[in-house]
Amino acid sequence: MTALTESEPRSHERGERARRPGATLLEVSGVSVTFDGFRAINNLSISIGEPELRAIIGPNGAGKTTFMDIVTGKTRPDEGRVLWGEKSLNLLKMSESEIARAGIGRKFQKPTVFEAQTVRANLAMALKAPRSPFDVLFFRPGPDVAARISELAAEIGLAGELDRLSGELSHGQKQWLEIGMLLAQDPRLLLVDEPAAGMTPAEREHTTDLLKRAAEKHAVVVVEHDMEFVRRLECRVTVLHEGSVLAEGSLDHVTRDQRVIDVYLGR
């Protein structure tokens, strides 16, 4: 893994500048949301390619989480378009579960796992499989399911905890479990909200590796406050402020931007 982190920054940075990331997977354009008169999102436009790793930073209240809420169908915008995939599906007309089945997975800011169930059950529930009630009722896990769960558990460092209740896990382990559940869904777009919160430096490093590897094939959007973490991601950065894009580009580029320094970094 160390070799990968050594070599990747330059190649990735070059790739970032040389070409636009793959075909556009998610296109958010002109979206606005108002909560009781407060404009949480103001004419926001972002497009994410596939594969691509994108970090979204910005001060509290900039609309980072609301952006994810809109994409996943939790919040309906007042205006604007959110289009998805080759067929340009309108995500605004789909329910949360339809959006998730279309291939958008989300890790929440506060780890939300099913605490009354084991780590194994949590992963099994997230694992990619038909989701209708009758499919679930007649679902019989084959050996491939167990193998995939062990593989994921090893990846997230919970191989020894598979049969523990996830409510007993530490905060950091719950974060990991949720990342594992996200990977288990095998989505095309991973929306990751503050993955590094509550993690040790070693765990943060592991998370960056994991996200970077996921971004080789998928689209990954990371919301994070920790600039050191974002720096290690070595990806294109979008700075949000008051619900719209303030700056976009490499981390070095945006951190030199005077407006970014004023509203975010300067504080």
In the chain, which ranges are continuous DSSP H helix?
2-18, 64-71, 96-102, 119-126, 133-137, 143-155, 171-185, 201-214, 227-233, 251-256, 258-260
Say whether residue 11 binds other proteins (CB under 8 A): no
Say whether residue 114 binds other proteins (CB under 8 A): yes
Q: Is 140 helix (H, G, I), strand (E, B) or coil?
A: coil
Buried/exposed 185-195: b ≥16 CB within 10 Å, e otherwise: bebbbbbbbbb
Tokens at residue 163, please?
């049969």
CB of 52 to other proteins, least distance (A): 22
Query: Which of 125, 197, 227, 265 touches other proteins (CB under 8 A)?
Result: 125
Say whether residue 95 binds other proteins (CB under 8 A): yes
CB of 195 to other proteins, least distance (A): 13
For the segment 133-172, give every residue that binds other proteins (CB under 8 A). 133-134, 136-137, 139, 141, 150, 153-160, 162-165, 167-168, 170, 172
For the segment 177-216, give every residue that binds other proteins (CB under 8 A). 181, 185, 199-200, 202-203, 206
The residue whose two tokens read 């905890």 is 161
Choose between 3 and 116: whose C-beta lies nearer to other proteins.
116
- Part of the chain binding other proteins (CB under 8 A), chosen from 16-24, 173-181, 237-245, 252-260: 173-181
Inter-residue contact 40 to 219 (CB < 8 Å): no
Q: Is 192 helix (H, G, I), strand (E, B) or coil?
A: strand
**What is the Cα–Cα distance from 42 to 147, expressed in whole angstroms?**
45
Tell me how many residues contact other proteins (CB under 8 A): 55
For the segment 70-89, give every residue that binds other proteins (CB under 8 A). 72, 74
Say whether residue 228 binds other proteins (CB under 8 A): no
Choose between 56 and 153: whose C-beta lies nearer to other proteins.
153
Residue 45 has φ and ψ, to the nearest 5°, of: -130, 125
CB of 259 to other proteins, least distance (A): 34
Inter-residue contact 184 to 214 (CB < 8 Å): no
Inter-residue contact 189 to 219 (CB < 8 Å): yes
Query: Which of 92, 121, 197, 265 touches other proteins (CB under 8 A)?
Result: 121
**What is the Cα–Cα distance from 260 to 171, expressed in whole angstroms?**
32
Residues that bind other proteins (CB under 8 A): 72, 74, 95-98, 100-101, 106, 108, 112, 114-118, 120-121, 124-126, 131-134, 136-137, 139, 141, 150, 153-160, 162-165, 167-168, 170, 172-173, 176, 181, 185, 199-200, 202-203, 206
